[in-house]
């Protein structure tokens, strides 16, 4: 987050602000503390994978800038004694309008990272979306008590593969299917690639750097490299090394994935179906007749198309198009409670959070993810109090003003 505009107000002189990076999870006060500790503990190649965007990282930057372009005009003299930030997600109450986003290779952040994320989601009362490229078997994740378990589908190889994954997700009790549509051609993540060999192995300086991160070695690699448990059997035996499996799967992703495939998947999957990675308003309109139950706007965390608009940028227009007919979610750039409030106000039913949760995972495992959820929930509740909004239903557009309209000179 190099952009100065986005930094906490840090005026010339003292005191110099520092983040907490120590061992006591309860002392982490913001997602930025968790991030700072993740940066302290993770080796370089892991951080490149976690933080990197594609190309010039213009999309990645936009994800945060877009939030900074909205200011709040708080209401006052509103009864704030009983604030409530719970939300309806697929007809059931969730603690927050948030789901943990699907992220692949979680085992490289922490051994059994998927299980850690899922446990924290179950404890925190929000859904967990497990990635096709996850490391823990979906059936094991599904056994976590109280979990709202969703499955994210990447289409690769022949149709039988997605058909089998969808059948397994159904049998494991997954509540919803999220079809990712924006990654059939892998993004140009140069920072990540620069540090790796052709088959994806970290280069020697990165291996040495990893070897010097003893706490990461202990918490992550003590049982050896993680496996892509859910897809490994589809991969040819000579391509099953940890680093090569991901390459092989990317090679097998059909570049021709289309609305016709959405229809085919819709026919097989009877529970709620979401399309993830839409960022063009024509596509949003097209999705209305696709049979999908919901749309997740987003840019894959700035990791695919460069120079893209962010989900927040198109949210109000997307909501106008979708109306109340379908669920409209967004992903990208959520780091603060105020981000969630802005996204809800601009039209999102639910936000997906990727890196904020992963910072917690890298920093303290399950406890860190729980802390990330607690922090966001506490921030939303506090900020709702500051903004004069007792519950999410009371959010209305007059709360927000785009910075380009400031100072307000004309009657709106």
Ligand X SMILES: Cc1cc2nc3c(=O)[nH]c(=O)nc-3n(C[C@H](O)[C@H](O)[C@H](O)COP(=O)(O)O)c2cc1C
Which residue number, 99 or 389, has a Cβ lying nearer to ligand X? 99
Angle, CA of 44, 107 and 306, to the nearest 5°? 60
| Pure H helices in 221-365 | 242-252, 259-268, 281-288, 311-322, 337-345, 355-364
Among 30, 54, 180, 220, binds ligand X (CB under 6 A): 180
Q: What whole-number distance in Å separates Cα of residue 99 and Cα of residue 296? A: 11
Among 334, 343, 346, 392, binds ligand X (CB under 6 A): 334
Question: What is the DSSP-derived secondary structure letter of residue 121?
Answer: H
43 binds ligand X (CB under 6 A): no
338 binds ligand X (CB under 6 A): no
Catalytic pick from 112, 149, 213, 300? 300
Token pair for 387:
């903004």
Nearest to 155 by CA among 254, 235, 228: 254
361 binds ligand X (CB under 6 A): no
Q: Least distance (Å) from ligand X to the CB of residue 305?
A: 13
59 binds ligand X (CB under 6 A): no
Q: Which residues pair with 94 in a beta bridge?
A: 87
Mask for 287-316, x = binds ligand X (CB under 6 A): -----------x-xx---------------
Contacts of 299 (CB under 8 A, 6+ apart): 59, 63, 182, 277, 279, 305, 308, 310, 311, 332
Q: Least distance (Å) from ligand X to the CB of residue 209?
A: 19
Q: Between residue 218 and residue 257, which ones bind ligand X under the rule CB under 6 A? A: none
Token pair for 142:
């599904």
Question: What is the DSSP-derived secondary structure letter of residue 393?
Answer: G
Among 331, 345, 366, 370, binds ligand X (CB under 6 A): 331
Which residue number, 20 or 150, has a Cβ lying nearer to ligand X? 150
343, HSE (Cβ side, Cα atoms, 13 Å): 31
Which residue number, 304 or 389, has a Cβ lying nearer to ligand X? 304
Token pair for 132:
């096709």
Among 43, 53, 97, 102, binds ligand X (CB under 6 A): 102
Among 48, 63, 65, 136, binds ligand X (CB under 6 A): 63
Among 169, 355, 366, 368, binds ligand X (CB under 6 A): 355
Q: Between residue 187 and residue 216, which ones bind ligand X under the rule CB under 6 A? A: none
97 binds ligand X (CB under 6 A): no
How far, rounded to the nearest angstrom, does the alpha carbon of residue 347 sit from its chain's CA centroid? 18
- Whether 112 is a known active-site residue: answer no
Backbone angles phi, psi at 284, to 5 degrees: -60, -45
Q: Least distance (Å) from ligand X to the CB of residue 100?
A: 9
Q: Give the count of residues interacting with ligand X (CB under 6 A).
A: 24
278, HSE (Cβ side, Cα atoms, 13 Å): 29
Residues at the interface with ligand X (CB under 6 A):
49-50, 63, 101-104, 131, 133, 152, 180, 276, 298, 300-301, 331-334, 352-356
Active site residues: 300
């Amino acid at each position: 987050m190099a952009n100065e505009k986005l930094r906490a107000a840090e005026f010339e002189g003292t005191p110099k602000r520092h983040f907490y990076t120590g061992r006591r999870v309860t002392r982490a006060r913001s997602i930025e503390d968790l991030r700072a500790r993740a940066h302290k503990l993770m080796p370089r190649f892991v951080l490149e994978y976690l933080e990197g965007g594609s190309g010039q990282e213009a999309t990645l930057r936009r994800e945060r800038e877009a939030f900074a372009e909205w200011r709040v005009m708080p209401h006052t003299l509103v009864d704030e004694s009983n604030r409530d930030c719970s939300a309806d997600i697929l007809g059931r109450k969730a603690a927050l309008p948030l789901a943990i986003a699907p992220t692949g290779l979680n085992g490289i952040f922490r051994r059994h990272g998927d299980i850690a994320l899922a446990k924290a989601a179950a404890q925190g009362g929000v859904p967990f979306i497990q990635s096709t490229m996850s490391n823990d078997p979906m059936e094991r994740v599904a056994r976590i008590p109280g979990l709202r378990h969703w499955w994210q589908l990447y289409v690769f190889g022949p149709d039988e593969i997605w058909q089998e994954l969808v059948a397994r997700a159904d049998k494991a009790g997954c509540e919803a299917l999220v079809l990712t549509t924006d990654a059939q051609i892998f993004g140009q993540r140069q920072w990540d690639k620069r540090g790796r060999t052709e088959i994806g192995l970290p280069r020697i300086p990165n291996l040495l750097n990893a070897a010097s991160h003893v706490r990461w070695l202990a918490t992550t690699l003590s049982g050896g490299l993680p496996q892509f448990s859910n897809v490994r059997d589809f991969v040819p035996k000579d391509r099953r090394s940890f680093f090569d499996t991901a390459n092989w799967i990317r090679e097998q992703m059909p570049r021709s994935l289309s609305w016709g495939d959405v229809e085919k998947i819709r026919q097989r999957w009877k529970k709620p179906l979401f399309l993830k990675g839409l960022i063009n308003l024509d596509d949003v309109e097209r999705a209305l007749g696709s049979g999908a139950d919901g749309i997740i706007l987003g840019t894959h965390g700035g990791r695919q198309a460069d120079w893209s608009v962010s989900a927040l940028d198109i949210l109000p227009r997307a909501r106008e198009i979708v109306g109340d007919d379908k669920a409209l979610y967004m992903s990208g750039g959520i780091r603060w409670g105020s981000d969630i409030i802005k996204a809800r106000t601009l039209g999102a039913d639910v936000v997906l959070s990727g890196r904020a949760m992963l910072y917690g995972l890298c920093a303290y495992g399950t406890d860190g993810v729980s802390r990330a959820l607690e922090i966001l929930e506490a921030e939303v509740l506090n900020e709702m109090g500051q903004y004069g909004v007792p519950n999410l239903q009371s959010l209305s557009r007059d709360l927000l003003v785009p910075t380009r309209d400031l100072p307000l000179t004309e009657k709106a």
